Amino acid sequence: MFFESDFRLSAPFITVVATFITFIILICLVRLFISPYILMTVYDDCNFLNYQHQYVLRLLFAGISSSYEPQLTTVTVRIDHSIRRCREIPFTPEIMDRATVYKGLHCAKIFIRTAERYQDIKCVTLYHNGRGSILVDSVELQDVDQPNAIIATVKFPIGVEHFMQ
């Protein structure tokens, strides 16, 4: 019978299989250890293959109140970027935990891939679902494809009455 015949593994076959297994293991290690520390990616009217434009949305904040619960709170940024288009982007606790220092403030970043070009930010609305307050300085949108191309920065006046609660 066909299945009962001897099948000897040749050196080229073993090399191809070993290379394939090594490649798969490397992909898993990169996804496991490196990608969680880069950025979260939001896809706006596209998927990971058919996007045309890439942006980084930064949430710059100065501080949080003592009653703020970072493990339970998701800060949502609602951006109106054209006449009929708006997008709500959630800054989850995992993203807020990875905030870095940028321009002297805490900065949480989200990577956006979209099929539509963002020309400007017409309106930004911030809200969160937790307790306490967070002092937001600004929201910044940068085009990744063009170096140092900050499309829009929306500054929020800093004062006691402007805490986001």
Q: Which residues of 33-44 are buried (b: 16+ CB within 10 A; e: fewer)?
A: eeeeeebbebeb
Instruction: Give the per-residue pLDDT at 22.
Output: 94
Q: Which of 90-99, 105-114, 124-133 has the lowest mean pLDDT?
A: 124-133
Chain-wide mean pLDDT for the chain?
A: 76
Higher pLDDT, 147 or 112: 112
Task: Determine contact, residues 78/128, Cβ cutoff 8 Å.
Answer: no
In degrees, rounded to 5, the angle at the alpha carbon of residue 84 between the alpha carbons of residues 153 and 87 is 50
Q: What percent of the chain has a predicted confidence (pLDDT) above 70?
A: 80
Instruction: Give the per-residue pLDDT at 5.
Output: 64
Assigned fold of 39-162: Lipoxygenase-1 (2.60.60)
Smallest Cα–Cα separation from 140: which of 53, 63, 76, 77? 77
Distance CA 58, CA 19 (A): 39
Helix count and strand count (H, E) for the chain: 2, 9
Read off the pTM.
0.66
Task: Determine contact, residues 140/150, Cβ cutoff 8 Å.
Answer: yes
Domain boundaries, the chain: 39-162
Instruction: Give the per-residue pLDDT at 82.
Output: 66
Report how far apart the first and last C-alpha atoms of the chain are (Å, whole number).
Answer: 75
